[in-house]
């Protein structure tokens, strides 16, 4: 059931990204280009997503456990460390350069163009690089 | 980077955003997981694979199949235009991969799920990456002229 549940979540996510225009790098970059062809659409995407998630999460957490799993896996950390700050800053630079973030690029793989493939392959190279370095150094993996 | 205008789509974008939220809520309600795309992608890589990650494969298949269904069944094909050249796509992709690894999330994990949890880490992360993205776009378009 876990895979089927996640497949459904992925489908809804992919439809959401596609309709919202966030799989289109030109539209994403224009949100940040206030001094140029500004397109505020991304704020409406974030707004819609956060309102639904904020309310929905609270309804879901009234239950003692998820439907098909024994527990909720919710991150508990609250410290602001150097990795969070530096990593987020680096992520933003890459997002600005390419116009893709992970959530926009994955559904865009299904659009049928080659640019998302090139971006995702490069992103996987970056993820793998850190993962290999961490394994040698003994650190923790990604967890949002 | 060639600059071109894109159409402002408040209704469609808010609807799409609401669906992204619905996806996050369903994933939490069904299997108790955060819908963070950087964590989901990194979890299926050979360097960090374990059997607990199998749900992530399902999510990715659904996310990639969704626009195909939209195109074939409904006939909806989104606008798509890439202002960046190949080097920016490759360099940007590498930086995104490294950055989300260290930062522990991206626009979906920190920006949507984390802000909705009122996580200080996620709010902090989102403010930082939105700022550096904005600075990068400004420098590229208006100072360098890429």
Interface predicted TM-score (ipTM)? 0.96
- Whether the per-residue pLDDT at A137 is higher than 90: the answer is no
Q: Express each pLDDT in B38-85 by its tens digit.
A: 999 999 999 888 888 999 999 999 999 999 999 999 999 999 999 999
- CA B12, A33, B146, A119 dihedral sign is negative
Tell me the pLDDT band of A138, cut-offs 50, 70 and 90: low
Q: Which residue has the tokens 């989901």?
A: B40
With a threshold of 0.80, does the pTM exceed it? Answer: yes
Q: What's the mean per-residue pLDDT of chain A?
A: 94
Whole-number Å distance between alpha carbons of B119 and B115 = 6
- Which one of B20, B21, B89 has the shortest CB-CB distance to A122? B89
What pLDDT score does A1 carry? 84
Q: What is the mean pLDDT of residues A23-48?
A: 96
B85 Cβ under 8 Å from any chain A Cβ: no
% pLDDT > 70, chain A: 95
CA neighbor of A144 nearest in space, from B56, B129, B105, B41:
B105
In a 13 Å sphere around the CA of A48, the CA atoms on its Cβ side amount to 24
Residues in chain A with CB shorter than 8 Å from the CB of B22 are 12, 16, 52, 56
- Whether the per-residue pLDDT at B24 is higher than 60: the answer is yes
- Whether the per-residue pLDDT at B139 is higher than 70: the answer is yes
CA distance B124 to chain A (A): 8
CA distance B51 to chain A (A): 12
Q: What is the mean pLDDT of residues A52-58?
A: 98
Whole-number Å distance between alpha carbons of B117 and B115 = 5
Structure tokens at B62: 């659904």
CA neighbor of B95 nearest in space, from A49, A115, A97, A68:
A97
Residues in chain A with CB shorter than 8 Å from the CB of B128 are 85, 88-89, 92
Phi, psi at residue B112, to the nearest 5°? -95, -60
Spell out a b/e string for B98-134, using b for 16 or more CB atoms within 10 Å of the CB, else e: bbbbbbbbbbbbbbbbbbbbebebbbbbbebbbebbb
B52 Cβ under 8 Å from any chain A Cβ: no
Q: Express each pLDDT in B99-113 by its tens digit.
A: 999 999 999 999 999
Q: Express each pLDDT in A77-122 by its tens digit.
A: 989 999 999 999 999 999 999 999 999 999 999 999 999 999 999 9
* Interface probe, candidates B12, B66, B109, B146, chain A, greatest A C-beta count within 10 A: B66
Q: What is the mean pLDDT of residues A41-64?
A: 98
What pLDDT score does A106 carry? 98
What pLDDT score does B49 carry? 86
What pLDDT score does B2 carry? 55
């Amino acid at each position: 059931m876990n895979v089927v549940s996640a497949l459904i979540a992925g489908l809804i996510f992919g439809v959401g990204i596609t309709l919202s225009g966030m799989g289109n790098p030109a539209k994403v970059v224009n949100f940040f280009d206030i001094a140029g062809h500004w397109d505020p659409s991304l704020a409406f995407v974030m707004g819609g997503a956060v309102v639904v998630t904020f309310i929905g999460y609270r309804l879901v957490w009234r239950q003692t456990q998820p439907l098909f799993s024994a527990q909720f896996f919710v991150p508990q950390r609250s410290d602001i460390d150097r990795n969070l700050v530096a990593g987020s800053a680096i992520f933003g630079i890459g997002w600005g350069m390419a116009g893709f973030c992970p959530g926009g690029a994955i559904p865009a793989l299904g659009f049928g163009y080659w640019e998302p493939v090139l971006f995702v392959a490069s992103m996987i190279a970056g993820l793998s690089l850190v993962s290999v370095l961490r394994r040698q150094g003994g650190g923790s993996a990604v967890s949002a | 980077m060639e600059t071109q205008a894109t159409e402002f789509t408040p209704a469609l974008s808010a609807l799409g955003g609401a669906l992204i939220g619905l996806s996050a809520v369903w994933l939490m309600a069904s299997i108790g997981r955060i819908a963070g795309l950087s964590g989901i992608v990194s979890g299926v890589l050979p360097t960090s694979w374990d059997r607990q990650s199998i749900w992530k494969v399902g999510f990715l298949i659904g996310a990639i199949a969704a626009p195909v269904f939209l195109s074939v069944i409904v006939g909806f094909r989104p606008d798509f235009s890439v202002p960046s050249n190949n080097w920016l796509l490759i360099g940007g992709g590498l930086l995104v991969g490294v950055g989300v690894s260290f930062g522990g999330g991206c626009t979906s994990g920190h920006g949507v799920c984390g802000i909705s949890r009122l996580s200080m880490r996620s709010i902090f992360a989102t403010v930082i990456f939105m700022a550096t993205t904005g600075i990068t776009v400004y420098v590229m378009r208006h100072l360098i002229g890429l």
